[in-house]
Structures are given as C-alpha cells and as structure tokens.
Chains A and B, each alone.
Chain A
Amino acid sequence: MTLETVGFGVVAALLLASSLAVVLTPNLFHSVLYLAAEQPFLFAVQLLLYAGGVVTIVVFAIMLTERLVGDRIGQASRHPINGAIVAAAVFAGIVGFLIQAPVRATAPAPAGDTTAALGRALVGPFAVTLELLGVLLVAALLGAVYFARSEE
C-alpha cells in the first residue's frame, strides 16, 4: 500500500462520485485525475479551461434558461432503468475487451518534468494540427457568438 496507491484510490473515488453527481443531480465539478497520472501541465490546462471557461458557460446557460421559463425545468431523469442497463452493458463490453486484450506498460514513465518536451512536440511534429486547432476554435467561437446573439 504505497502512497501512489492511496492517491489513486482517493482521486478515483472523488472522480466517480462527482461523475455520478453530474448525471444524477445538476452539479458541475469533475476531473482532477491528471495529477495522479503525473502530468502537471495537463492538470493545469484542464483546471484552467474547465474552471474558467466551461463551468462559467454552463452555469450561465442553466441560469438563463431557468430564469426565463418561470417554472422549474424538470431535472429528473427519464427511463433511468433502461439507461442504466445500456450503460452497464457498455461497461461490461469494455471490461471484457480489456480482459481479452492484456495491456501492459511497455516503457517506464518519462522522468522529470515533461512540459518542455510537450511544448517542443506541439511546435514540432504537431505544428500543423496546432494551427488547424486555432482555426477550429476561432470558427467555433464566432459561430457560438452568432447563434447566441440578441435579435437586434
């Protein structure tokens, strides 16, 4: 029972509990697992984007649509048993595949801080993808502003 095992257990339990909260109640916090996978830079990006951007937008949208409609929007689930059956079947399928195809570590974890190597990879072999991503973000955000603009 090393420290890593304990940390993984705690973070995994936290992640699963908040995931269940997301689907069962209107609650919006998840995903801090990257810390356990020793990727501090990715952890920071995820935290920044989700805490800063997505959660703000989601809360804004919920409040906007809830306020205008007068009565509360139904948050209850429909057909929860059917949904649970399908989700459990998919989970069983994935785990069955995992058991059949034994996956194992082929190389030791990269030592030290990988942020510098990550930056070099982004502007080296993945430079074209990075530029395409910038175009996609501009197009998507312009489209979002166009959709959500006020009428006049």
Chain B
Amino acid sequence: MIGLQAYLVLAALVFAIGLFGVLTRRNAVGILLGIELMLNAVNINLVAFARFNGDLAGVVFTLFTISITVAEVAVGLAIVIAIFRVRRTVEADRLNLLRG
C-alpha cells in the first residue's frame, strides 16, 4: 500500500524538476514545457488527495487544470510564434525588447 506521502514527495520532485527547466532553458518552448511539468506535479497532488480522502472534488479540479493548461499552451506557443516572426529567435535571453 503506497501512502499519501509517497505521492506528495513524487509530485514535489516533479515540481522541482520543472522549476529547474524553467530556470535553465534557453529556448522559450523549453520554458513552456517546464511550466507543463510544474502544473502536472500539482495535478498529481490533487489526484492523490482525492484518492486518499475519498472526495471527487480533487479529480474535478484536475480536469479543470488540464483544460486550462491546454489553453495556456495554445496561447503561449502562439505568442512564441508571433515573437519569432518579429525577432527571428525563440531564445529567452535575446527577447529583451522591454529592457531599458
């Protein structure tokens, strides 16, 4: 029997890995993927709490976060493509148009 703690520690690990990706990726698409990992860690937490507390609300919330994640990815990648059209790069370090 796997306890709730194991799921939470696993989710924390996935979240930390995603944070590492967000912080260290050069490619803007890679940063988006890191954000995906962090959101998935939250989903794991929600499902684990729903499973161990016998409450379906956590699963419903996970459905909502998955849908919102899809919307976020679509908009984020559209912005990446639009930026690429203007600046000819998706490297986050070179997207410094707003730097004074």
**Residues of A near any B CB (own CB < 8 A):** 2, 4-5, 8, 12, 15-16, 19-20, 22-23, 26, 28, 30-31, 33-34, 36-39, 42, 45-46, 49, 53-54, 57-58, 61-62, 64-65, 68-69, 73-80, 82-84, 86-88, 90-91, 94-95, 98, 103-110, 114, 117-118, 121-122, 126, 129, 133, 136-137, 140-141, 143-148
A-B interface pairs (CB < 8 A), number: 226
State the CA gap A16–B14 with chains docked (Å).
7
* Contact yes or no, A95 B59, CB < 8 A: no
**Residues of B near any A CB (own CB < 8 A):** 1-10, 12-21, 23-27, 29-30, 32-34, 36-37, 40, 43-44, 47-48, 50-57, 59-60, 62-64, 66-75, 77-82, 84, 88-91, 93
Q: Classify the interface of chain A: helix, strand, loop or mixed.
A: helix
* Contact yes or no, B72 A140, CB < 8 A: yes
State the CA gap A121–B26 with chains docked (Å).
42
- Which of B17, B59, B84, B90 is the one whose CB lies under 8 Å from A39? B59
